Structure 1
Amino acid sequence: MSKEKGSLSIHSENIFPIIKKWLYSDHDIFIRELISNSCDAITKVKRLESFGEADLHGETDFFVKLILDSTARTLKFKDNGIGMTDDEVRKYINQIAFSGAEDFFNTYKDKGDKDQIIGHFGLGFYSAFMVADRVEIDTRSYRDESEPVKWSCDGGTEFEMEKGEKLNRGTEITLHLGEEGESFLNEYTVRSTIEKYCSFMPYPIYLEVADKEPQKDEEGNIIVEEPKALNDVDPLYLKQPNTCSDEDYKKFYNSTFKDFKEPLFWIHLNMDYPFNLKGILYFPKLSTEFDTLEGQIKLYNNQVFIANNIKEVIPEFLLLLKGVIDCPDLPLNVSRSFLQNDGSVKKISEYITKKVADKLNQLFKSDRQSYEKFWGDISPFVKFGSLKDEKFYKKVETIILYKTISDKYVTVEEYLTNLEGKLENQVYYVTDKVQQSQYIKLLQEHDIDAVILDHNIDSPFISLVESKKDNISFKRVDSDIADLLKDKDAETDDETNKKEDENVLSVFKKAINKEEIKIQIESLKSDDVAGMIILSENTRRMQDMMKMYGMSGLNMGAIPSEETLVLNKKHPLIQYVIEKSLEDTETLNLIAQQVYDLAMISHRALSPEDMSNFIKRSNEIMKHMIS
């Protein structure tokens, strides 16, 4: 063929600046696009061979190779795929691959949309111009009679095309990297980008550094290393679940997420109808509460990486997990608004949610012992999912566990059944076993168990459960004095007792001198505790909610404290106050203040000033004892 010059079939000379502008934030994507094109080219020629339309002469060694030459400032992409004839170059390159470039220009020239648009407009090859000042193509078609073609363009609308010198079938694209491609002269950058986007591409991908000093042994001989592919051409998630061992799943998890803690368990997704979806979701071992904020779910399209954690496809609460999902039915590059309004995306999301819920139910029913062992790690995920997705909650509500202070795991129904006749649809819980030990002890003396709810998510979660289950209420152990702890036989209503109570209240109000603290007197069955602080459940939850949403600094005083000091009339110290209540002595004052601080310490931490006063007063009381 004779040398040919011409203009690309677009109606605006501004097409390349627009490509660079809109794709700059993801400018490493050109590696994905060019490698994807190479893989497509190999797939096409293999398919033609299977139809008897191409003779590959027994060739089975297909590959994609990148050659980096930082000295020459070039990055080459080579494949032995279908190749192109000169007519195909004119059609697929010069006409920008059916991209509708004029529509693209009119759509994006005045807009601030940052969504990726490569692929959506067929501009995959042209992503090369984001980093290259000049791009060359050397290609030769699989057709025996075809001639090699050389094409080049410097990023304007002009191109040159002539007969090339390529001897073998396939395509070689050479990028002459400019200033915006400077970082891709670094081997590590290229390697890590390949691993990011192309880890599971279907053909082996190699990286060669042309100007790299060869390694030598002690005798000065060059060490020849066997080329090693950077990708896994047959990833585990594409295999049938019954062919995969536990070790296979663990190895895949470690290599994919660079996490060497073993996952708790996993779910292998394998669906062909009504949509094609494959993948593996892992429940990771969480080391801290902050780990639950975000996992990593990689979304692929035909083994081509799209993005991490696309919540339009993957339910938000599942983003706490780690996994790989490959869904060829999704377009490779589309806007978030498209995904939000696409009916098939919603079905995919619902399917994934259902499979996760099914797995949890199956584990609960078939191996509850393992399920209980995992519960501490998966409970934040299950609770978050319940809060975010009502359908998910309905599927898992009967398998939600609560760990008790006696180290047992129970459902809410089991908890109520165990305490039948003692409590009426009340679930007592603790948030701090040490801080609330005094209250726990009172309950244990009456064989009442409590569940442990010490995660940030528990406060909104129990509110959800209360709204879904009739007549069930959660109460923290220090939110109220249970009726069964009160000594009803000791309760009297005569004038003498009323007067005694009034005198005690007077002593304590004067000693504590805090208007916001309410005081009440009860006769408890146990005489071990002189005083307790209780706080209404509603007030506590409101305060917890404000803290959770970072509102604690706004005006916590706007919410009434409603803390109540409950004095146990049967305790010797309170009896002493009753007897001496008419005497205005320093001892009475010290006792009242000490009882209040001891009760407060079991409720929450004292302020620095109150703690100093408590320590000082404790020393004074001990001095009185020896004087």
Structure 2
Amino acid sequence: MLRSRLKPSLLRLVLRNPVLITEKSFHTTYSNKKTESFEFQAETKSLLDIVARSLYSNSEVFIRELISNANDALEKRRCIELSQEAGTSSDVPYEIRVTTDEAANKIVFEDTGIGMNREELIDLLGTIAKSGSKEFRNQNIDSQTAESIIGQFGVGFYSAFMVADKIVLKTKKQDSVGYTWLWNGSSAYEIAENEETTVGTRIEIYLKPGDAAEFSRRQKVIDIINKYSYFVTVPIILNGDRVNTLNAIWTMNTNEVTQEMHETFFKQLAKTHHPTLVDDRPQYIIHYKADAPIHLRSLLYIPAHKVSQLEFTAEAADSGISLYARRVLIKAHAKELLPRYLRFLVGVVDSEDIPLNLSREMLQNDLVIIKLRRILTDKVISYLLNQMKKDRIKYLEFYQGYSAFFKEGVLLEQDQTIKEEISKMLLFESSNFKPGVYTSLSEYVERMQKDQKNIYYLFAPSRNLAETSPYFELFKKKNWEVLFITDPADEMVLLFMLQFQLKNIESVENWLKNEGVETVEHEKELTRDTNKKEFLTWVKSNLGSVKVNDIKPSSQASDHPFIITVAAEPGVARHLMRLGQIKDKEHLVMLKPVLHVNFNHPAITGLMKRRKHDESLSVKVIEQLYDNALITSGLLKDPSQMVPRLNQILGELLQGEKSTILVP
């Protein structure tokens, strides 16, 4: 692939090109015609120097540019013929012909468009930054068809200088004399009349030897046309065969496009831009058109393929959206058009309002792009929220394959408003519904009790553990709904959310620590009992200050002998444990655990009696009960000691006399 990295002056650029047709031979060919020689204007010479220093990052784009110019010329012709009286239109077909000749190391572009006269050749090909399309549009201000013309012929044409040793352009305008325009590698060009030229434009490019010669190969050109220009409105004929056979269906009305057309188009996109999806099909189709506040034609697909965790982790940052301007590809992976958390979308965005620099590749991140991004993002989110309400089963199937993208979006976005917009698409299991039924945060808020201030959630490894958790028991009594979180990523999302629709998001463990335990007065009343005071001191002494920063009595009706609350957010500690960034009991030192002892539980009442005559077994029991409490809070780092200890307890109990101790 030719990638010009040279930084020569214009003179060196010109001198290094071999002159294949001399001025003498050119005059001999058209000896009976008036031939004129012109120097490129200063700004055009500067452009040639820029081209030599890689104005275009990939030299293959000259094919896209010349096809785009030809398409513009055909649109101009169509506009003129529509404005003429009926019966005056030409019978010449609207088409672009491309011919490759490997033997001659040449590629030819022909169109049946409007053509150019002498003044336009000089004005458009000898001067840079002059847009023939812009002037044409200004002259046809009342024509709606003319408004769709956006080409910059003079700029795109010069992309061919990257690969050409010589360019011969033949053109003719209706009711005008034909002309031949020649550039043979020098700093000048020549123009001569040519009576044999037909209406339209023919560009013969004699390619440089070396890498540029590959553009004389038929298959190479087919690949480039498929990549960049497959959806231009007119037929593209390459060496006698039509290349583009599909319509640009994103420009059609939604009711005109069938499911079969969508699937065929999706495969074409995958084949040229996203090969990994070539055997897939779309599960959601977002077809959107708008003319204000910005001209926009878009067609976005969500593939049916479920993205695995491995694929999500290894996925490249490239976007699946291809950016077009009037059906000509500008950028195959336009990540500027959608936020990163929507990068799984595949499709096209076409806008005539996209600002371009000298190259269609040099996309500017300006207000137009920002507007497009906001419009498309809002459209995708509103579409998915509507699908969530319309068909929850289908949405859930989609969600299971793509939820990781939304969770990533909440975690990475800094703006709270954006976080909440993304979080509307999340789903969770709830204490209000049976397993397998999911709800959204918006639906949760609508169902909140009048005396409920916050949105509550509980993390547990499984739904069953959540339902039997000591932290959930008090919420059942209050009839407050709790979101059951079993995915660690969901816990991190809610930790980072903090709020949703002005409602604080809080873990049930935090609520239990702050509001759910007994008052200080109640604690004093319970500890007036000398035996209970002594037992609490004994438990804390044997477990140690790291495991028990403080110990408190509890008389709540519970199926659990111990409940642990911590000073910091337990979800953060769990996250650090998963990352392996803490050692042994470091998290307990940070969390400063408070142990709540349920004196109404049979294990505690039995243990208070047993410890007086079997200290060793009683210590094993409280260690086991403590680890059980750590499990229910998700804070047990190393469970390896639990099974041997439990076996020892069972062995000693079964060998001794019948005991009243119950070990859950």
Normalised to the residue count of structure 1, the TM-score between the two structures is 0.75
How far apart are the structure 2 equivalents of 1:370 and 1:230? Answer: 35
| Matched residue type, 1:181 | A
Look up the match of 2:147: none
Which whole-Å CA distance do the structure 2 matches of 1:41 and 1:263 have between them? 36
> Residues 75 and 568 (structure 1 numbering): CA distance in 2 closer, same or farther, change over 3 Å?
farther
Q: Say which is worse superposed, 317-326 or 513-522, in terms of deviation.
A: 513-522
Q: 1:249 aligns with which of 254, 262, 268?
A: 262
Partner of 2:253: 240
Provide the C-alpha distance between the structure 2 equivalents of 1:66 and 1:242, rounded to a whole number of angstroms: 34
CA RMSD of aligned residues (A): 4.7
Counterparts of 1:305-324 in structure 2, within 5 Å, are 305-308=329-332, 310=334, 313-314=337-338, 317-324=341-348
Residue 591 of structure 1: which of 600, 621, 625 is its match?
621
Give the alignment partner of residue 126 of structure 2, picking from 85, 89, 94.
94
- CA distance in 2 between counterparts of 1:188 and 1:517 reads 74
Query: What is the CA deviation profile of residues 239-284 of structure 1, one whole-angstrom value per residue up to 9, with x for unaligned ones?
Result: 1123233444344334323534443423321222343211123344
In the alignment, the residues of structure 1 paired with residue 568 and residue 378 of structure 2 have an alpha-carbon distance, to the nearest angstrom, of: 34
C-alpha distance in 1 between matches for 2:632 and 2:263: 45
Question: Which one-letter code corresponds to 1:427 in the other structure?
Answer: Y
Q: Are 2:152 and 1:123 aligned?
A: no
Aligned equivalents of 1:388, 1:502: Cα separation in 2: 47
Aligned pair count reads 579
- Deviation of 1:36 (Å): 0.6
1:91 counterpart letter in structure 2: D
Query: Would the alpha carbon gap of residues 98 and 456 (structure 1) be closer, same or farther in structure 2, given more than 3 Å must change?
Result: farther
**Are the counterparts in 2 of residues 429 and 476 from structure 1 also a CA contact under 8 Å?**
yes
1:59 to 86, 92, 108: 92
Q: How does 1:334-483 map to 2 (within 5 A)?
A: 339-342=364-367, 344-360=368-384, 362-363=386-387, 370-371=394-395, 374-376=398-400, 401-404=427-430, 406-412=435-441, 414-415=443-444, 420=449, 425-430=454-459, 432-433=461-462, 436-437=465-466, 439-440=468-469, 443=472, 450-453=482-485, 458=490, 461-462=493-494, 466-475=498-507, 480=512
1:391/1:42 CA distance change after superposition, 3 Å = farther
**How far apart, in 2, do the equivalents of 1:572 and 1:188 lie?**
82
Aligned equivalents of 1:452, 1:175: Cα separation in 2: 69
Identity %: 23
Pairing 1:131-170 to 2, within 5 Å after superposition: 132-154=163-185, 156-162=186-192, 167-169=197-199, 170=201
Q: Say whether 1:504 aligns with 2:539.
A: yes
Gaps of at least 5 residues in structure 1 are: 101-117, 209-225
- Cα distance in 2 between the residues matched to 1:27 and 1:98: 22
Rounded Cα–Cα distance in structure 2 between residues aligned with 1:419 and 1:145: 78
SS at match of 1:26: coil
Residue of structure 2 in register with 1:173 after alignment = 204
The 3-state SS of whatever aligns with 1:202 is: coil
CA contact (8 A) 2:564 2:596 kept: yes
SS class of match (1:58): coil
Q: 1:418 to 1:408 in 2, by over 3 A?
A: farther
Matching residue of 2:10: none
Q: Is the 8 A contact 2:610 2:618 kept in 1?
A: yes
User: 2:38, 2:188 within 8 Å by CA — same for their partners in 1?
Assistant: yes
Spell out, residue by residue over 1:554-587, the C-alpha distance to the aligned partner (whole angstroms, 9 max, x if none): 9x97992445555544444444443344568442
What's 2:295 paired with? Answer: 276
Deviation, 1:314, is: 4.3
SS in 2 for 1:46: helix
| Distance (whole Å) between structure 2 residues aligned to residue 158 and residue 322 of structure 1 | 46
Question: Any stretches of 5+ residues in structure 2 without a counterpart?
Answer: 1-32, 133-149, 272-276, 656-664
1:39 offset after TM fit, Å?
1.0
Whole-Å separation in 2 of the counterparts to 1:319 and 1:23: 28
Q: Deviations over 1:204-236 (max 9, x none)?
A: 22444xxxxxxxxxxxxxxxxx8242363x322
Aligned to 2:225: 194
Q: Deviations over 1:345-395 (max 9, x none)?
A: 544444334434543454455556655555545656666777567666787
Deviation (angstroms), 1:138: 3.4
Distance 1:261 1:312, change over 3 A: closer
In the superposition, relative to structure 1, how do residues 18 and 348 fare at CA in structure 2: closer, same or farther (>3 Å)? closer
The Cα of 1:329 is off from its aligned counterpart by 1.6
Is the contact between residue 503 and residue 581 of structure 1 (CA under 8 Å) also seen in structure 2? no
Name the residue aligned to 1:329. 353
> What amino acid maps onto 2:543 in structure 1?
F
